[in-house]
């Protein structure tokens, strides 16, 4: 029964989001051959007959049941939901690191700080390579291998390259990484190296790397694994499906996502819209997208022209994962904002650093780009867009250990020294815990312990 459902419903077609044309086959750059806009995957069978339309009751039970299975395709938290994904004739063909199945945490400390009764974090940093990218990579890398490609490639601010390199290696393919020199955290760079990628540090920013790669893929037989690849977004959809399963199919009021190249917000929005269309859920959460103020093209686009024309910016932020000035999936993200009633917000470097430490203090932790969610949420609560009694989920996109340099700089207190944010950064003092260098003596340690906790003074 299982495979019948998946193969039937998995018949897909590629549809251009600009001119609406249906393409047989994607070009190397995943852009529409007629108008150059992005492509999106559709499942025509979902609209034609009840037999090929995923049935919520059957599937919720089947997906739950698969959690007890030992098959790789069921152990993966992406492929467990394969009826919502492009199909494979033989499930042995997929490349999986048992991605997804990520935790949903309650965040009591952050809830208090934000002024909410309840706040949750879906931690996509708990994926095999430490970021949400794995959920999309398992799908798109599998499609690349099925297509006979020997090489895959991406431009990246770090996480995509780490994930791509891992899945390529697992699938017996070579990988080419283009990253902006000096702007990718050591953790992410070292992953790409370890997984065997040919790693090129280009003397430009992410947007420049993307431009170069687009030219490379037109000339060479390499498969593009950036999020313009619509198969990646299909895999990333499953975070929303898994979240709904964790919420017992009752959507929260708000989902808050960081925005970089805007693939992830687009993927999550697509998932919620599809789940609503198919009857898995009856309401939509408002999906809001937060950017760093120094890398805010979507915020400006929404505020200055209502989402009609992209306003590119020269991006600068220490949250290097989202240091992107010209996001590829901006149109898809605008559609998600409009369809779900979400909003956009921007946050300062100091606000990001504070929020990251607050998420850490809840015993969770994340990388800087993920922390924009909490920083933005605080503003949305103050503005009244999020009400104190509403349920909110932050999507934490990357693991704390992705960027330890940022964390160390923060706690040592030298992050904003000598910058124009120095004064604003005063509020960070209460969160900073610099490492303490001591003589190797019991007395010194006990004195420090008592200084940290007055109640130990007896």
Residue 175 interacting with ligand F0G (CB under 6 A): no
Which residue in the block uniquely carries the two structure tokens 């009591």? 108
Of 96, 157, 296, 391, the residue at the interface with ligand F0G (CB under 6 A) is: 157
Q: Which of 267, 397, 383, 280 lies closest to 335 in space, CA to CA?
A: 267
Structure tokens at 129: 């390579």
Nearer to ligand F0G, 59 or 302 (CB): 302
Cα 232 to Cα 86: distance, rounded to the nearest angstrom:
11
In the bound complex, what is the minimum distance in angstroms from residue 131's beta carbon to ligand F0G?
5
Q: Taking CB under 6 A as the rule, does residue 233 contact ligand F0G?
A: no
Residue 191 C-beta: closest distance to ligand F0G, Å: 11
| 136 scored as a contact of ligand F0G (CB under 6 A) | no
User: What's the min distance (Å) between Cβ of 398 and ligand F0G?
Assistant: 3
Interface segment toward ligand F0G; rule CB under 6 A; list 4-12, 263-271, 342-350, 352-360: 263-271
Q: Which stretches does DSSP call E strand in 113-216?
A: 119-123, 151-155, 174-180, 198-202
* 223 membership: H or E segment, kind and range: strand 222-224
Q: In angstroms, what is the minimal distance from the CB of 344 to ligand F0G?
A: 12
Cβ-based nearer residue to ligand F0G, 158 or 360: 158
Of 103-111, 156-164, 304-312, 436-444, which segment contacts ligand F0G by CB under 6 A? 156-164
Find the length of the chain.
458
Any contact of residue 367 with ligand F0G (CB under 6 A)? yes
Residue 370 within binding range of ligand F0G, rule CB under 6 A: yes
- Residue 262 within binding range of ligand F0G, rule CB under 6 A: yes
Distance, in Å, from the CA atom of 25 to the CA atom of 157, rounded to the nearest integer, reads 28
Give the pairing of strands 198-202 and 222-224. unpaired
The residue within the footprint of ligand F0G, chosen from 9, 185, 264, 391 (CB under 6 A), is: 264
Q: Which two tokens stand for residue 296?
A: 């805010």
Q: Tell me which stretch binds ligand F0G (CB under 6 A): 217-225, 254-262, 423-431, 440-448.
A: 254-262
Residues in 193-232 at the binding interface with ligand F0G, rule: CB under 6 A: 227
Q: How far is the CB of 388 from ligand F0G (least distance, A)?
A: 27
Is residue 263 within the footprint of ligand F0G (CB under 6 A)?
A: yes
Q: Are 392 and 254 in contact (CB under 8 A)?
A: yes
Buried b (16+ CB within 10 A) or exposed e, 354-368: bbbbbbbebebbbbb
Quick one: 10 or 165, whose CB is closer to ligand F0G?
A: 165
Q: How far is the CB of 359 from ligand F0G (least distance, A)?
A: 13
The answer to whether residue 77 forms part of the interface with ligand F0G (CB under 6 A) is no
Q: What is the DSSP letter of 385?
A: S
Q: Assign 3-state DSSP to the chain and report helix, strand, coil percentages, each to 5.
A: 50, 15, 40
Quick check: 287 and 257 in contact, CB under 8 A?
yes
- Does position 318 interact with ligand F0G (CB under 6 A)? The reply is no
How do strand 119-123 and strand 104-106 relate by DSSP bridges? antiparallel
Q: Check binding of 127 to ligand F0G (CB under 6 A).
A: no
> What count of other Cβ atoms lies within 10 Å of the Cβ of residue 201?
15
User: Shortest gap between Cβ of 29 and ligand F0G (angstroms)?
Assistant: 17
Contacts of 90 (CB under 8 A, 6+ apart): none
What residues make contact with ligand F0G under the rule CB under 6 A? Answer: 131, 156-160, 227, 258-265, 321-322, 367, 369-370, 397-398
């Amino acid at each position: 029964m299982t495979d019948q459902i998946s193969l039937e419903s998995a018949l897909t077609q590629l549809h251009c989001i600009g001119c609406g044309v249906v393409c047989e086959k994607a070009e190397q750059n995943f852009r529409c051959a007629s108008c150059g806009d992005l492509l999106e995957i559709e499942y025509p069978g979902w609209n034609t007959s009840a037999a090929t339309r995923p049935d919520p009751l059957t599937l919720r039970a089947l997906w739950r049941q698969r959690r007890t299975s030992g098959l790789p395709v069921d152990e993966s938290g992406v492929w467990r939901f394969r009826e919502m994904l492009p199909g494979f004739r033989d499930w042995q063909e997929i490349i999986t690191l048992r991605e997804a199945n990520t935790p949903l945490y309650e965040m009591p400390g952050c809830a208090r700080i934000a002024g909410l009764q309840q706040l949750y974090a879906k931690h996509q940093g708990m994926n095999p390579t430490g970021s949400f990218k794995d959920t999309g990579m398992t799908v798109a890398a599998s499609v690349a291998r099925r297509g006979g490609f020997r090489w895959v490639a991406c431009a990246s601010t770090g996480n995509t390259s780490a994930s791509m390199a891992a899945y390529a290696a697992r699938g017996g393919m070579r990988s080419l990484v283009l990253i902006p020199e000096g702007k990718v955290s050591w953790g992410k760079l070292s992953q790409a190296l370890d997984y065997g990628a040919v790693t090129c540090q280009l003397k430009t920013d992410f947007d420049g790397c993307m431009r170069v790669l687009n030219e490379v893929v037109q000339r060479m037989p390499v498969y593009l694994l950036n999020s313009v690849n619509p198969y990646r977004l299909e895999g990333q959809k499953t975070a929303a499906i898994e979240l709904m399963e964790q919420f017992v199919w009752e959507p929260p009021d708000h989902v808050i996502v960081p925005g970089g190249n805007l693939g992830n917000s687009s993927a999550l929005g697509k998932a919620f819209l599809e789940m609503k269309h198919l009857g898995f859920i009856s309401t939509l959460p408002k999906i809001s997208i937060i950017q760093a103020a120094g890398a805010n093209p979507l915020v400006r686009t929404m505020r200055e022209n209502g989402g009609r024309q992209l306003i590119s910016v020269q991006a600068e932020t220490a949250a290097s994962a989202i240091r992107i000035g010209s996001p590829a999936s901006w149109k898809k993200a605008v559609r998600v904002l409009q369809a779900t009633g979400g909003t956009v917000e921007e946050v300062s470097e100091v606000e990001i650093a504070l929020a990251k430490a607050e998420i850490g203090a809840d015993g969770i932790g994340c990388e800087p780009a993920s922390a924009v969610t909490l920083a933005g949420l605080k503003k949305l609560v103050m503005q009244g867009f999020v009400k104190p009694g509403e349920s909110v989920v932050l999507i934490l996109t990357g693991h704390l250990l992705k960027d330890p340099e940022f964390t160390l700089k923060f706690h040592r207190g030298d992050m904003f020294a000598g910058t124009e944010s120095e004064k604003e950064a005063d509020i960070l003092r209460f969160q900073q815990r610099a490492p303490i260098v001591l003589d190797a003596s019991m007395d010194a340690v006990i004195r420090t312990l008592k200084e940290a906790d007055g109640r130990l003074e007896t």
